[in-house]
């Protein structure tokens, strides 16, 4: 079973993803007697190589990182974690919960950066070897609230978060569009 969480930065999706991981690690699924191993992964990351790519992607010193390079680095990180961790775990019957996955690339690089959408979707399919989550929760948040939460928490902005309000609006609308296209997989939560 493969479940992913999506949404804007500071939406609370990571908290929800971790809570679900803890819940499923202590209670069996309906109709099952024992708990299955549950694996939590945060993207980009989840393998040694993916964590190194994460550093490049989020480092504010890399402000001149080209958006096409950015697309390929996120996809490279995902290609690695899918093959090294996610696919083998699912094959063993484990539950995998991902904080972000390919829909982040569609929303941020496709809709946010404005890269060619059919190309982004094709790269997603290639990077994930066609592995699609069984269920995806989009944790929705108003864009003004993102800034408010960041400031309240006193958290510094990473490279992706320097895009500004206009960028986040495009990403948020992107998520709505993605969810509309595949209503069976998505649950949008306020």
Nearest distance in Å: CB 30, ligand TYD: 29
CA distance 80 to 62: 22
Q: Does 140 interact with ligand TYD (rule: CB under 6 A)? A: no
Nearest distance in Å: CB 24, ligand TYD: 20
| Closer residue to ligand TYD in complex, CB, 11/95 | 11
CA distance 42 to 51: 10
Q: Does 124 interact with ligand TYD (rule: CB under 6 A)? A: no
Contact 133, 139 (CB under 8 A): no
Nearest distance in Å: CB 13, ligand TYD: 7
By CB under 6 A, name the one of 44, 46, 110, 174 that touches ligand TYD. Answer: 44
Nearest distance in Å: CB 90, ligand TYD: 19
Rg of the Cα trace of the chain?
16
Stretch that binds ligand TYD, among 23-31, 87-95, 100-108, 132-140 (CB under 6 A): 100-108
CA atoms within 13 A on the CB side of 75: 23
Stretch that binds ligand TYD, among 89-97, 103-111, 130-138, 172-180 (CB under 6 A): 103-111
Handedness of CA 58, 59, 63, 69 (dihedral sign): negative
| Closer residue to ligand TYD in complex, CB, 2/74 | 74
Q: Does 161 interact with ligand TYD (rule: CB under 6 A)? A: yes
Closest CA to 42 of 31, 53, 51, 32: 51
- Annotate 94-114 with three-state secondary structure: CEEEEECCHHHHHHHHHHHCC
| Closer residue to ligand TYD in complex, CB, 58/129 | 58
Q: Does 174 interact with ligand TYD (rule: CB under 6 A)? A: no
Q: Does 6 interact with ligand TYD (rule: CB under 6 A)? A: no
CA distance 140 to 159: 21
Where do we find the tokens 């971790």? 18
> Which residues are at the interface with ligand TYD (CB under 6 A)?
9, 14, 42-44, 58, 74, 100, 104-105, 108-109, 158, 160-161
């Amino acid at each position: 079973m493969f479940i992913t969480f999506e949404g804007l930065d500071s939406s609370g999706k990571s908290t929800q993803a971790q809570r679900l991981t803890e819940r499923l690690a202590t209670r069996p699924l309906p109709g099952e007697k024992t708990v299955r191993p549950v694996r939590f992964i945060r993207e980009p990351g989840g393998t040694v190589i993916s964590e190194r790519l994460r550093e490049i992607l989020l480092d504010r010193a890399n402000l001149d990182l080209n958006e096409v390079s950015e697309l390929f680095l996120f996809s490279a990180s995902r290609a690695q974690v899918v093959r090294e961790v996610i696919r083998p775990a699912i094959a063993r019957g484990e539950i995998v919960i991902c904080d972000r996955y390919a829909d982040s690339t569609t929303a941020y690089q496709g809709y946010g950066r404005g890269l060619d959408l059919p190309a982004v979707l094709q790269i997603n399919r290639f990077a994930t070897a066609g592995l699609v989550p069984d269920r995806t929760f989009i944790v929705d948040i108003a864009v003004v609230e993102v800034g408010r939460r960041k400031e309240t928490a006193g958290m510094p902005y990473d490279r992706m978060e320097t895009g500004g309000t206009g960028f986040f609006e495009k990403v948020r609308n992107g998520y709505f569009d993605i969810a509309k296209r595949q209503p069976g997989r998505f649950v949008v939560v306020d």
